[in-house]
Amino acid sequence: MENIFFRSFIFIFIIFLGFILKKFNFYEKSDYKIITKTVINIIMPAVIITSFSKLEKDSSLFLLIFLGIICNLIMLLFGYIFSKNKDDKIKSLFMLNLQGYNIGSFALPFVQNMLGPLGVVAVCMFDIGNSILCTGGSYAITSSVIQSNTENFSPKAFFKKLFSSIPFITYIIMILMTELNIKIPNDIISLTSFIASANGFLSMLMIGMMFEINFKYEYLYTVGKILTIRYAAAIIMSYIFYTFLPLNLELRQIIVIILFAPVSFLASIFTEKCNSDVGISSFITFITIIISLISFIILFNIFKF
């Protein structure tokens, strides 16, 4: 339990560090864009390659990949439904910040410390499906929905946006390599592991540098509504999956924990790409880290891991 508190404190400290350094002009307001490009185009592919190198092919766990996709699609749908009559900025804010689970730099470190190898593999398998949406799929869907308000939907534009995401392409390549039993050379894994180790620090620093919000009533109302929908859905899906999924008890418990993970930091990146309010998005990300910390502590105690 001390590991949970300590790791969470580190994450929150780094977020505040990024925010304070920006406020004291150590960083320019636009400097986070450099870190964003580094994280999404270099570090995230390295994390993906490294994670796949540690996975053992197990057909019984492939259900978790589809579960990761389904959970994100459900939340995207909720985002669309609850913002249907709003403008494009609010619609993209809801769709991109309701979906997505921060697995790699938040949930996975906790699972590594608290659970055994099965837990790590289960989380990684869920993250494959989750990341297919988080690393480009949700952005492609959201931007296409917004685009369709002013012009005809173009499948070509949709797939162009989808396959312009380097992490998404990396996931597709690694899934194919896993299915074909193609092994990655150890020298490459050593390189990607070294690069991937920067993921947690730079991701949290980036969130802190993005964090900028004026405490207006309408902002707090929007944040409150998104958080209420997200965690109400997490409770409902947790009950359904825990009760009805044809998996062993430990895997069902792990799925419940994953559903309470924070919003993916990539949500803020794609929120900006859709010309929505990145300050609100980064604030949502920060708040979900706090909520998830409390949720993880409760769940780890309930399940007695």
Ordered DSSP codes for 268-290: HHHHHHTTS-HHHHHHHHHHHHH
Mean pLDDT of 44-50: 83
CA torsion angle 131 300 122 259 (round to 10): -30
Confidence check: pLDDT of 61 > 90: no
Joined together, the tokens standing for residue 293 give 């910390």
Structure confidence at residue 190 (pLDDT): 92
Select the more confidently predicted residue: 58 or 172. 172
Give the number of residues written for the chain: 305
* CA geometry: angle 156, 159, 165, nearest 5 deg: 140
Handedness of CA 118, 122, 125, 127 (dihedral sign): negative
Mean pLDDT of 224-252: 92
DSSP alpha helices (H): ranges in 39-180?
A: 44-53, 62-82, 88-98, 108-114, 117-132, 138-147, 155-162, 166-179
Mean pLDDT of 133-140: 82
- Mean of all residue pLDDT scores within the chain: 82
Residue 64, by phi and psi: left (phi above 0), alpha (psi -120 to 50) or beta?
alpha
Select the more confidently predicted residue: 219 or 245. 245
Structure confidence at residue 60 (pLDDT): 62
CA nearest neighbour of 124 among 82, 64, 179, 79: 64
CA nearest neighbour of 71 among 249, 234, 231, 257: 234
Q: How confident is the model at residue 125 (pLDDT cuts 50, 70, 90)?
A: confident
Q: How confident is the model at residue 256 (pLDDT cuts 50, 70, 90)?
A: very high
Confidence check: pLDDT of 229 > 50: yes
Share of the chain above pLDDT 70, in %: 85
Structure confidence at residue 150 (pLDDT): 46
The whole-angstrom separation of Cα 255 and Cα 241 is: 8
The whole-angstrom separation of Cα 29 and Cα 170 is: 30
Greatest Cα pair distance in the chain = 54
Structure confidence at residue 269 (pLDDT): 81
Confidence check: pLDDT of 9 > 50: yes
Confidence check: pLDDT of 153 > 60: no
Q: Which 8-state DSSP code applies to residue 103? A: I
Tell me the CATH number for domain 2-303. Answer: 1.20.1530.20
Helix (H, G, I), strand (E, B) or coil at 164: coil
Joined together, the tokens standing for residue 60 give 């019984």
Confidence check: pLDDT of 152 > 60: no
Structure confidence at residue 151 (pLDDT): 47
The whole-angstrom separation of Cα 220 and Cα 226 is: 10
* Surface-to-core class of residue 225, CB atoms within 10 Å of its CB (0-12 exposed, 13-18 middle, 19+ buried): middle
Structure confidence at residue 248 (pLDDT): 84
Mean pLDDT of 53-73: 81
The whole-angstrom separation of Cα 144 and Cα 157 is: 8
The whole-angstrom separation of Cα 303 and Cα 305 is: 6
Structure confidence at residue 212 (pLDDT): 66
